Structure 1
Amino acid sequence: MVFSSFVSVTRRAALGLTVAGVAVLAAQGHAFAAPKTSVTLGMAVEPGGLDPTIGAQVMIGQVTWQNVFEGLTTIDKDGKVVPLLAESWVVSPDGLTYTFKLRQGVKFHDGEAFDSSTAKFTLDRARGADSVNPQKRYFSTIDTVETPDAATLVLKLKQPTGSLLYWLGWPASVMVAPKTADNNKVTPVGTGPFKFVSWAKGSQVELAKNADYWNKAVSVTLDKASFRFIGDAQAQAAALKAGDVDAFPEFGAPELMDSFKGDARLVTVVGNTELKVVAGMNNATKPFNDKRVRQALMMAVDRATVIEGAWSGLGTAIGSHYTPNDPGYIDLTGTWPYDVEKAKALLADAGYGNGLTFTIKAPQMAYAQRSAQILQAMFAEIGVTMNIETTEFPAKWVSDVLKAANYEMTIVAHAEPMDLDIYARDPYYFNYKNPAFNEVLQKVQETADPAEQSKLYGEAQKILADDVPSLFLFVMPKLGVWDGKLKGLWENEPIPSNVLTDVHWVE
């Protein structure tokens, strides 16, 4: 009793001293404010849905990947594959059996348990005949999915697939629950550190901290996160300066980056991405079914001028569909160097000495419009007339170009890392067919040796650089602008994302 009374008196005295101390600090103007626990991120383009297992738009993953949804593996900020819902795995010596040990005690946001049956459902859904998964090919080598017990998942493959663990970390490979999968497009339910709250179409998506998140080793400090959609570059800058948004992880106007200099609150970051800007051609139709025409157009392009005019000089020229961040990268910009006279001669050799006319379907984004205008002027120098048709992205571009291949030329930034294989897909909007190229990519999957894979990636790059199924232009950097007190956003982007797990405020 004496000890208890002493504790009570001591607590009251301490409380009094604390209150008095805070009052003194407040009177002196030095009260300590608690760090913020909410964040508003700006995005230039609103996703058409929120389920990355049924939609190809990278904006989907930029909202939900690693935030709402999680996969068996994941890709960290350094681009490395690390465990997530699978805590470990064993690969058989022949590369045909993958045995995963799954985390236990993991639940979806609605309380449904995650286990091997859920993982089997997800993978069978992704690889099934009716699958609309944008990366369905990633699962094509899976022969059977077995569930010996709730914590064990066994994948038996038809052939070795050296990239499987990497692919399982992608947004398209996240785990979904049978009860909620059909509604994830508008009300996503995952296992991640944030729960979906609301989506005001045309305005913003709101997420809230998942208090029951399975990974107790992760300390999530944000209670709320909002993704606000602002398409106009001037409006993006104004929102940042006014504090209406805390960050634009992918700021869309390089010409405005200098306007933030001297701002005491905001910082600017220039990082690496996988955003490859290419002018894709329909290789199945005239005149682009003639390799000489494609090569001539490539020689008509001065990449340095394109980068300067389209993205204020902030970009890296590329000669194939590959970035300097990737293993086995080769600088192939000299394969078809800028040479107007040689371009004219090659065009004449292909039977177009009197020129030709075609239309480019260019999305409304600034980089695409500016690049198209610069290309238009360059092509005119070799007698080629290119008309520009602005095509709304994503909906119209996806329906006309990506799905229907109803186009002659287009221009877009491909954001997926290590996606050389898009030129081997059939069908795909390039309509490019080269068995030798496909064979090289097949060999990549047949080996798990990084050195051998890098060598093969080099061979694949050389084939594309020579064939020019697309005009390979430049890699866009990640231009970030955010509040200097906001920490934990990825400065580089090995995969399109806005991972919130480590994002926090400091005072």
Structure 2
Amino acid sequence: MKAPRTTVRVAGALCFLLAATACTSGSGDAPTAPRAPKLTTTTPKAGGSVDQVDWNLPMGEPTTLDPAKVGDYSPSTVEANLCDPLLRLNADYSVAPGLATSWKQKDPTTLVLGLRHGVHFWNGHTMTAKDVVASLKRQGERATQSVNASLLANVKSIEATGGHQVTVTFKAPDELFLKALVNGFGAVSEAAYLDKAKASYGTAKGGLMCTGPFKLTRWKPGDSITAERNPDYWDTALKPKVKSLTFRFITDPSTLTSALLSGQIDGSYEISTSTAKAVATSDTGTVYYGPSAQTNFLTATSPTSPLADARIVKALSLVLDRDALIKNVYNGAAQKLKTFIPPLVWQNSPASAAYDKAYDALPAVPAPDVDRAKKLVTQADTARRTITVAVAAGDQQSLQTLTFLQAGAKKIGLKITIRQLQPTQMSGLFYDPSLRKGLDATMVLGYVEIPDPLSYAVQMMTPGSLFNWAEYDNKQVTALMRKAQGTLDPAETASLFTRAQARYVKDYPVLPIASPYERLFVNKRLSGLPASFAYLHMPWAAHLGGTGKGSS
């Protein structure tokens, strides 16, 4: 999920959306539709070393860098370069060996991980199976408050069965566990350091002890986070070319635009559409668009929300002109979605053809139909016609999307009230129910971390799951997804999941809107880093280096 940015004015957003009509004073000619950008997975290969890079986190300062707790853009962007996971996500969303060089499913309930030899933590201590066991087990402990705790639900035991071997025994087969090792869930920290730091682990005070290409050297709250390259990094192919990497927290899009144009900031993922347009024609650097696993959708925050009634969700879908939205809000840099899971997630699955076929068979994204939407609102059980929606303050695209939706809702007798939340509130509401009080819905810029669509769907569509705030409960969907998670055959998993997907899509538990492409800006003196959304769980800065054009 995402952390928000600083406030922008709703009036300005509305003017932007109505640029072709009332807010313009030109000849009245319809504006030319923006072209869909060319997508690239990586930027050109880097050359020489660079002394210093200043990188921005447009979603704000992380609240933690503890791998067990990173579940948002800013912390993951930093942590991915500090703490190596057992498996590594590639830029194309495929999976490769990380700290684990082998994995063998001895039987349906026994997984054996072979660990890499010769890996050292930043303090020089050798990584062993003991560290892996401690890192995984603590995610199931209540005191850790891990965002990944549910991934241990089917685990019976995690044991070191050799100096560099870990055996995981399951109560029931679980096809998601292994794939989840690509993110913070699979990141390895030193056991002794964890024991000493306890609750302060991952904070500015407690620090980290990992094996990644960069090591945390300074965290100055409210100002910056600094990481220095690890000269003893185990992956010789990814020896960092950048000596020092400083993360800044510029959340205002205009300020960030100026900093990128002046060279004060060398680059940023997740730049806004307005920033991308402003810097696209400069000679300071390059804007890259990449494949994305991001998903923009509207979801109810409680079972009493008007959006808990599928007819209200469907009615809102019918007043949302997605073509106009993608053109005006995303400047063409997004794709419509039939559901809330983007196709990139399954593209490297052995069963990708089955997922593609099932997605193609889903109902088409509806064209606007106000009359039909009005009838659905009339038929709805809820008497409430006002919907209070949370959005990240400063998230221009989500705010503009809500403004777009707000205008359509008014035509069918619904009132959308927009409540902008500041960074800690917006990020926290995904995990703290108390922060959802007084809200009916939230505009989500979520993302699928694991290269398996089931991983996100179970969090949204099963009773008691992390993000099923409306308490959606379709027993057929639940049974199919549980069975899908319990089979280790990719074809069977795909068959079961897509049957569940076909069912919950009809139920309209959430309103899918679009999947924005990844937007990256990098200074002309730098190159080499991934341009796809996979950066969030890759050691992306280890790919970064100079181009020879002003690099140091």
Fold match, TM over 0.5? yes
Q: Which residue of 1 aligns with 2:391?
A: 362
Residue type of the alignment partner of 1:413 = L
Instruction: State whether structure 2 residue 211 is matched by structure 1 residue 180.
Output: no
- Structure 2's unaligned 5+ residue stretches are 1-46, 347-354
Instruction: State whether structure 2 residue 532 is matched by structure 1 residue 502.
Output: no
Instruction: State whether structure 2 residue 67 is matched by structure 1 residue 52.
Output: yes
Q: Which residue of 1 aligns with 2:466?
A: 428
Tell me the distance in 2 between the aligned counterparts of 1:402 and 1:164: 21
Residues 58 and 415 in structure 1, CA contact (< 8 A), matched pair in contact too: no
Q: Which residue of 1 aligns with 2:498?
A: 458
Residues 295 and 467 in structure 1, CA contact (< 8 A), matched pair in contact too: no
Q: How does 1:45-444 map to 2 (within 5 A)?
A: 45=59, 46-65=61-80, 67-92=81-106, 94-181=107-194, 182=198, 183-186=201-204, 187-252=207-272, 254-282=273-301, 284-327=303-346, 328-329=355-356, 330-331=359-360, 332=362, 334=364, 336-351=366-381, 356-364=385-393, 365-393=395-423, 395-400=424-429, 402-404=431-433, 405-406=436-437, 407-417=439-449, 418=453, 419-423=456-460, 424=462, 426-429=464-467, 430-431=469-470, 432-444=472-484
The verdict on how the C-alpha distance between 1:191 and 1:371 changes in structure 2, with shifts beyond 3 A counting, is same
1:131 positional shift: 4.1
1:319 positional shift: 2.1
1:349 positional shift: 1.5
Question: Secondary structure at the residue paired with 2:111?
Answer: strand
- Structure 1's unaligned 5+ residue stretches are 1-32
Query: After the TM superposition, which of the residue ranges 487-496 and 259-268 deviates more from structure 2?
Result: 259-268
Tell me the distance in 1 between the aligned counterparts of 2:535 and 2:170: 26
For CA contacts below 8 A with separation 6 or more, give which structure has more relative contact order.
2
Tell me the distance in 1 between the aligned counterparts of 2:275 and 2:178: 39
Tell me the distance in 2 between the aligned counterparts of 1:231 and 1:250: 11
Question: Secondary structure at the residue paired with 2:238?
Answer: coil
1:212 positional shift: 2.1
The verdict on how the C-alpha distance between 1:286 and 1:68 changes in structure 2, with shifts beyond 3 A counting, is closer
Residue type of the alignment partner of 1:439 = A
Tell me the distance in 2 between the aligned counterparts of 1:262 and 1:213: 37
Instruction: State whether structure 2 residue 518 is matched by structure 1 residue 478.
Output: yes
1:400 positional shift: 4.2
Tell me the distance in 1 between the aligned counterparts of 2:333 and 2:232: 42
Percent identity over paired residues: 21
Question: Secondary structure at the residue paired with 1:326?
Answer: helix
Question: Secondary structure at the residue paired with 1:144?
Answer: strand
Residue type of the alignment partner of 1:298 = S
Residues 355 and 382 in structure 1, CA contact (< 8 A), matched pair in contact too: no
Tell me the distance in 2 between the aligned counterparts of 1:351 and 1:442: 30
CA deviation digits over 1:454-494, x for unaligned, max 9?
33332233233211221110001111111234122111113
Residues 93 and 344 in structure 2, CA contact (< 8 A), matched pair in contact too: no
Question: Secondary structure at the residue paired with 2:160?
Answer: strand
1:311 positional shift: 2.1
Tell me the distance in 1 between the aligned counterparts of 2:428 and 2:526: 38
Tell me the distance in 1 between the aligned counterparts of 2:466 and 2:260: 38
The verdict on how the C-alpha distance between 1:128 and 1:260 changes in structure 2, with shifts beyond 3 A counting, is closer
TM-score by length of 2: 0.80
1:401 positional shift: 5.2
Residues 54 and 248 in structure 2, CA contact (< 8 A), matched pair in contact too: yes
Q: Which residue of 1 aligns with 2:20?
A: none
TM-score by length of 1: 0.87
Tell me the distance in 2 between the aligned counterparts of 1:287 and 1:502: 47
Residues 306 and 375 in structure 1, CA contact (< 8 A), matched pair in contact too: no
Tell me the distance in 2 between the aligned counterparts of 1:425 and 1:221: 47
CA deviation digits over 1:374-433, x for unaligned, max 9?
11111001010111111113x112444542142201102012333122212614343322
Query: After the TM superposition, which of the residue ranges 464-473 and 425-434 deviates more from structure 2?
Result: 425-434
Tell me the distance in 1 between the aligned counterparts of 2:333 and 2:525: 26
Q: Which residue of 2 aligns with 1:25?
A: none
Q: How many residues align?
A: 470
Tell me the distance in 1 between the aligned counterparts of 2:426 and 2:269: 24
- Give the number of the structure whose alpha-carbon radius of gyration is greater: 1
Tell me the distance in 2 between the aligned counterparts of 1:241 and 1:426: 47
1:217 positional shift: 4.4
Instruction: State whether structure 2 residue 531 is matched by structure 1 residue 491.
Output: yes
Tell me the distance in 2 between the aligned counterparts of 1:191 and 1:397: 31
Q: Which residue of 2 aligns with 1:6?
A: none
Residue type of the alignment partner of 1:83 = P
Q: CA RMSD in A?
A: 2.3
